[in-house]
């Protein structure tokens, strides 16, 4: 069975749980204590040299890392990746935007504020991250005024990638009340078949 090395509250790990559940792919999870350095051991780095979760074990000894690459792997050949070439590239555009211009600000602010505390001396850096996080939300709001989902007319893995940390951005003190188009999109994402919430326990491994 697919094994997901994860930290449950991580949005990056939630992306993978949400997709696997929506696709009806059974999986089990291995909770990984990042704070205790469990991703930095030689044993873990043999699974994923980048030393991060999520990491999936596809079959014994075969690993794949980076949340958005994992989404791609499982969604290939399903309606969650657009069949049109340009829409597919646009989907990837928004997934790279998520990792470069969104996650480092919104996810890190949430991690510091809601989980780990702001590291000493990083108060000014937190303010910068919040400012850049709002810039990412502004971009998303503008897009969602124009189309229902990031890759076009249909829900895709770009929506999963961006939903993961955006819908809990308030835990990083982001005020989402100013973003009506984003909040409408939350409802469309949550209305998809077999939606799973971030806080939901891992579903039983049944199709």
Residue 66 interacts with a second copy (CB under 8 A)?
Answer: yes
Retrieve residue 39's tokens. Answer: 């991703």
3-state secondary structure (DSSP) of residue 15: helix
Residue closer to a second copy, measured from CB, 76 or 200? 76
Taking Cα atoms as reference points, which of 152, 185, 142, 146 lies closest to residue 167?
Answer: 185
Residue 17 interacts with a second copy (CB under 8 A)?
Answer: no
Residue 64 interacts with a second copy (CB under 8 A)?
Answer: yes
Q: How far apart are CA 3 and CA 65, in angstroms?
A: 12
Residue 68 interacts with a second copy (CB under 8 A)?
Answer: yes
Residue pair 50/66 in contact by the 8 Å Cβ criterion = yes
Retrieve residue 188's tokens. Answer: 């469309």
Q: How many residues form the binding site for a second copy (CB under 8 A)?
A: 35
Residue 23 interacts with a second copy (CB under 8 A)?
Answer: no
**Residues at the site binding a second copy, with contacts judged by CB under 8 A:** 49-50, 58, 62, 64-70, 72-73, 76, 85-86, 88-90, 92-93, 95-97, 99-101, 103-104, 121, 124-125, 139, 142-143
């Amino acid at each position: 069975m697919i094994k997901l090395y994860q930290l449950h509250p991580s949005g990056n790990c939630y992306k993978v749980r949400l997709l696997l559940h929506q696709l009806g792919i059974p999986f089990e999870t291995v909770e990984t204590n990042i704070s205790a350095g469990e991703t930095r051991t030689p044993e873990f780095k043999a699974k994923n040299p980048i030393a991060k979760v999520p990491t999936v074990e596809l079959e014994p000894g075969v690993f794949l890392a980076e949340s958005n690459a994992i989404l791609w792997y499982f969604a290939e050949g399903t309606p969650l990746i657009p069949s049109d070439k340009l829409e597919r590239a646009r989907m990837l555009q928004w997934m790279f935007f998520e990792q470069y211009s969104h996650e480092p600000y919104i996810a890190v602010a949430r991690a510091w504020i809601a989980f780990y505390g702001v590291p000493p001396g990083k108060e000014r850096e937190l303010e910068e991250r919040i400012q850049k996080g709002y810039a990412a939300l502004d971009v998303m709001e503008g897009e969602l005024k124009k189309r229902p989902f990031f890759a076009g007319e249909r829900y895709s893995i770009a929506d999963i990638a961006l939903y993961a940390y955006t819908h809990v951005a308030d835990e990083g003190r982001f005020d989402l009340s100013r973003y009506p188009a984003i909040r409408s999109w939350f409802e469309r994402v949550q209305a998809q078949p077999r939606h799973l919430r971030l806080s939901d326990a891992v579903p039983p491994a049944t199709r």
